[in-house]
Amino acid sequence: MTEIKKVVLVTGAARGIGLATAKRFLAEGWLVAMLDIDGPAQEAAVTALKRPEDTLALSADVSEPEAATRTVAAVEARFGRLDALVNNAGTAVFKPLLETTNEEWQRVLAVNLGGPFMMTNAAAPVMAKTGGGAIVNITSISGLRASTLRVAYGTSKAALAHLTKQQAVELAGLGIRVNAVAPGPVETAMAKAVHSPEIRRDYRDTIPLERYGLEEELADAIYYLCSSRSSYVTGQTLAVDGGFEAAGIGLP
Ligand code: NAD
């Protein structure tokens, strides 16, 4: 009998947490579709994996309305099914409220919140055809607390945590679980772009485990929430943050 391989679609998979997540699923024997807005970086990342039979590179902007239906259809055409979706693609603007432009506000909300909404609505019917699956939305500790610099980013991630609950309740009937992972700081390109020396010092002082997280540590949590090991978990946000949230200290 031919073994049926499970299929995951990871957005924002050209680098950082998304790429680490794609590698984790590959190591577990899944087929992996990797989507990114940066087509050349995505192609390079997929080529470097040297698993052409098991991977699919997709170039799209998750905030574009047709991107979700087009890419989910491409995954179904190539692999024949979809078992998990990781809504990881995200963008960050760290600015005070009064300096955040309308364009920045709209872009951050469109990518971080609109993307997971549209990707999920496109993916769920395909997942349902084979009995359901699991979806993980990547939020942030910036959505758990307010701070001076994260009006757009933090609001988008707090809203995504609520969207996760809505999706979990509404998709349970299709056999689809929906959870969120809220990373603490992880040394990726995004962190390099928005974490000032002051933010880094404050994180070091306030994270009980006294370090940034590793991309692989996030990938482990994401994989757990997509695997059958979490079959009774839905509608939750799992903070993977070195104890930052538990310590109850305000964000730097
Ligand atoms: P990253 O910038 O290294 O990677 C993000 C990837 O998403 C990039 O490859 C980028 O090209 C892609 N992307 C951006 N906008 C896109 C779009 N519109 N459509 C498709 N792809 C798009 O960032 P990362 O740190 O790996 O972040 C991954 C997720 O983790 C994000 O949702 C981010 O908000 C979240 N997060 C990161 C941290 C951190 O400290 N790094 C902390 C909390 C949450």
pLDDT digits (tens, 9 = 90+) for 206-244: 899 999 999 999 999 999 999 999 999 999 999 999 999
Q: What is the pLDDT of residue 252?
A: 56
The CA–CA distances, whole Å, from 49 to 46, 208, 219, 234 equal 5, 35, 16, 31
Angle at 236 between CA 181 and CA 167, to 5 degrees: 95
Looking up tokens 């730097």 gives 252
Q: What is the pLDDT of residue 204?
A: 85
Q: What is the pLDDT of residue 45?
A: 96
Q: Exposed, middle or buried by CB within 10 Å (0-12, 13-18, 19+), for 97?
A: exposed
Which residue is closest in CA terms to ligand 1's atom 40? 185
- The reply to whether ligand 1 has any atom less than 6 angstroms from the CB of 100 is no
Which residue is closest in CA terms to ligand 1's atom 41? 186
Q: Is the ipTM of this complex over 0.90?
A: yes
- The reply to whether ligand 1 has any atom less than 6 angstroms from the CB of 42 is no
Q: In what order do the strands lie in the sheet with 7-11?
A: 55-59, 31-36, 7-11, 84-87, 133-138, 176-183, 237-240
Q: Which regions of the chain are under pLDDT 70? A: 1, 249-252
Q: What is the pLDDT of residue 2?
A: 76
Q: What is the pLDDT of residue 251?
A: 57
**Residue 186 tokens, joined:** 């992880």
CA distance 221 to 238: 8
Atom of ligand 1 nearest to the CA of 17: 26
> Among 139, 190, 196, which residue has the most ligand 1 atoms within 8 Å of its CB, making it the best to mutate?
190
Q: What is the pLDDT of residue 203?
A: 87
Is 153 labeled as catalytic in the residue annotation?
yes
Output the CA 62–ligand 1 centroid distance in Å.
12
pTM of the model: 0.97
Give which of 169, 60, 78, 56 is closest to 118, Cα–Cα: 60
CA distance 168 to 187: 30
The CA–CA distances, whole Å, from 182 to 30, 131, 216, 217, 218 equal 23, 27, 14, 12, 9
Q: What is the pLDDT of residue 205?
A: 86
Atom of ligand 1 nearest to the CA of 185: 40
- The reply to whether ligand 1 has any atom less than 6 angstroms from the CB of 93 is no
Q: What is the pLDDT of residue 202?
A: 85
Output the CA 111–ligand 1 centroid distance in Å.
10
17-35 residue pLDDT tens: 999 999 999 999 999 999 9
Eight-class DSSP state of 58: E
Q: What is the pLDDT of residue 248?
A: 81
Eight-class DSSP state of 252: -
Q: What is the pLDDT of residue 152?
A: 98
